[in-house]
Amino acid sequence: MPGTTLASLTTLRLGGPAEHVLTISTPADWADAVRAIGQRGEQTPVVLGHGSNVIASDAGHPGSVVVMNTRGITATRVDDTTVDVTVQAGHPLADLTAWAATEQLAGIECLAGIPGTTGAAPVQNAGAYGQQISDTLDHLTVWDWEMDRMWTLPAEACQLRHRNSRFKSNPGRWTILAVTFHLIRSAAAPAVYQPLADELGVHVGARPPVAEVTAAVLANRHRRGLLLDPHGPDARQAGSVFLNPPVTATQAAHWSATGCPVHADSDGQLRASAGRLLEHAGYGPGRQVADGIRCSDQRTLTLTAHDGATATGFAQALTELSAQVKIATGIALRPEPTLVGIWP
Ligand SMILES: Cc1cc2nc3c(=O)[nH]c(=O)nc-3n(C[C@H](O)[C@H](O)[C@H](O)COP(=O)(O)OP(=O)(O)OC[C@H]3O[C@@H](n4cnc5c(N)ncnc54)[C@H](O)[C@@H]3O)c2cc1C
């Protein structure tokens, strides 16, 4: 597609020319895409889902950009209580969680409202409200650009950690083509996270219906500005711009005492709220950070792009924010979105 820009493929709507865009609409398109990329002499393409977790460079990308737009869910009964659900990589995660709620399949209800595709979700082990992809992932079907072949990768081989995986630490080598989850056939799902239990008006550990948990997650995300509204004032964003940083027990005690939320992640690592640390460094909702870039009116940790914004400016703003937090708190923040395209 000549004339396409990375801006048109990302939620921040920033980014220069995308020279060669290949949209994968059905699994059968894959072999042709691999051939076309090989004929151009390229090792690996840039792969995008909905572009909700990337900062695409102003200079664009001179090679191929593969957009995963495959859809489809196949459910296979394992036994009376478990179902294997295979989902094409381009299938919107939000549609998958809505489907699972209707089918009374538990295990991914807390992921409702996370923007993006199902195939991108394992890349950063997407998670929210005490649940993450690694809780239910069984295996992935991936294309290996180094070995030029397909693999089935069991969940254990994906090195899924807190917002991390072997796909994030080794970008480009594998493209996820399909994701298989192991879900529980159950009318009810446990509310394991305090804010979610509060939203539902139950105690932690109670088991409301799956559809009620899904609805409560969506309501809570809406109130906290965690849904992506393509027509709202925060439409141009890439979600939380920093990961919650790991802290020592001493730092955790210090920051908890100041009212900064500190949680243990699923690996037991204590993490402080990146948003609260930004506020400690003087930032806040609505604060201008750079030309055309400011904190969302609803949430300090979400930076939104406006007229005059550039990808370079956005990336520089993250460097500046991180430096200010380091000065104010001694804690280093790591950006969550991935850089794609040509960067100096
Ligand atoms: C409003 C908002 C709220 C968010 N809330 C959350 C949240 O609660 N929890 C959370 O974890 N994340 C959250 N995110 C981040 C984002 O939604 C997730 O990371 C999501 O999984 C990204 O999906 P995507 O299709 O947009 O991926 P993209 O942004 O297109 O890609 C992200 C990365 O994955 C790679 N990639 C994409 N597809 C594939 C594939 N098929 N194979 C291999 N690599 C691939 C890309 O190259 C890139 O490096 C939020 C984002 C926004 C904008």
DSSP 3-41: T-BGGGGSTT----BEEEEEEE-STTHHHHHHHHHHHTT
Q: What atom in ligand 1 is closest to the CA of residue 54?
A: 29
Same domain for 183 and 297, yes or no, is no
Does any domain span residue 230? no
**Would the CB of 56 count as within 6 Å of ligand 1?**
no
What values do phi and psi take at 175, rounded to 5?
A: -110, 130
User: What contacts 156, CB < 8 A, 6 or more positions away?
Assistant: none
Do 250 and 187 share a structural domain?
no
Q: Tell whether ligand 1 has an atom less than 6 A from the beta carbon of residue 226.
A: yes
Give the mean pLDDT of 292-309: 97
189: its two tokens: 């799902």
What tens digit of pLDDT does each residue of 236-282 get?
999 999 999 999 999 999 999 999 999 999 889 999 999 999 999 99
Name the percent of the chain in helix, strand, coil, to the closest 5. Answer: 30, 30, 45
Number of alpha carbons in the 13 Å side-chain half-sphere of residue 125? 23
Inter-residue contact 46 to 63 (CB < 8 Å): yes
Q: Is the CB of 176 under 6 A from ligand 1?
A: yes
**Are both 88 and 177 inside the same structural domain?**
yes
Looking at the fold, whether 63 and 78 belong to one and the same domain comes out as no
Ligand 1 pocket test, candidate residues 8, 24, 46, 53, most atoms within 8 A of CB: 53
101 and 60 fall within a common domain: no
Q: pLDDT at residue 1 above 80? A: no
Question: Are residues 188 and 77 both part of a single domain?
Answer: yes
Helices (H), the chain: 29-39, 93-102, 166-169, 194-200, 210-223, 249-257, 274-280, 311-329
Counting from 1 in the atom list of ligand 1, the atom nearest the Cα of 132 is: 11
Please report where in the chains the tokens 């711009």 appear, as a residue: 241
Residues 25 and 127 grouped into a single domain: no
The verdict on the CB of residue 124 being under 6 Å from ligand 1 is yes
CA angle (272 as vertex; 205, 155 as ends), nearest 5: 60
pLDDT tens column, 326-339 = 999 999 999 999 99
* Model pLDDT for residues 316-327, shown as the tens digit of each residue: 999 999 999 999
**pLDDT at position 192, please?**
87
Domain end call among 68, 84, 104:
68
Alpha helices in 103-193 (DSSP H): 166-169
Least confident range from 179-193, 283-297, 309-323: namely 179-193
Between strands 105-106 and 46-48, the pairing is: unpaired
Which residues are the active-site residues?
163, 240, 336
Instruction: Looking at the structure, tell me whether residues 201 and 80 fall in a common domain.
Output: yes
Q: Whose CA is nearest to atom 17 of ligand 1?
A: 115
CB 132 within 8 A of CB 114: no
Specify the amino acid at residue 30: W
State the residue range of the domain holding 180: 73-223
Domain count, the chain: 3
- Is residue 1 included in any domain, yes or no? no
Per-residue pLDDT at 19 exceeds 80: yes
- The CB of 243 under 6 Å from ligand 1? The reply is no
CA-nearest residue, atom 23 of ligand 1: 116
Check if 338 has its Cβ closer than 6 Å to any atom of ligand 1. Answer: yes
For the four alpha carbons of 14, 20, 23 and 27, in that order, the dihedral sign comes to: negative
For the chain, the straight-line distance linking the first and the last C-alpha, in angstroms and rounded, comes to 26
What is the per-residue pLDDT for 124? 96
155 and 99 in a common domain: yes
The two three-digit tokens of residue 45, written as one number:
């393409």
Nearest CA residue ID for atom 13, ligand 1? 114
Percent residues over pLDDT 70 in the chain: 99
Residues 168 and 277 reside in one and the same domain: no
Q: pLDDT of 61-117, one tens digit each?
A: 999 999 999 999 999 988 999 999 999 999 999 999 999 999 999 999 999 999 999
Q: Please give the structure tokens belonging to residue 295.
A: 């904190």
Ligand 1 centroid from CA 52, angstroms: 5
Q: Grade residue 187 by pLDDT with cuts at 50, 70 and 90.
A: confident
- Tokens, residue 61: 């990308």
Instruction: Give tens-digit pLDDT for 155-166.
Output: 999 999 999 999
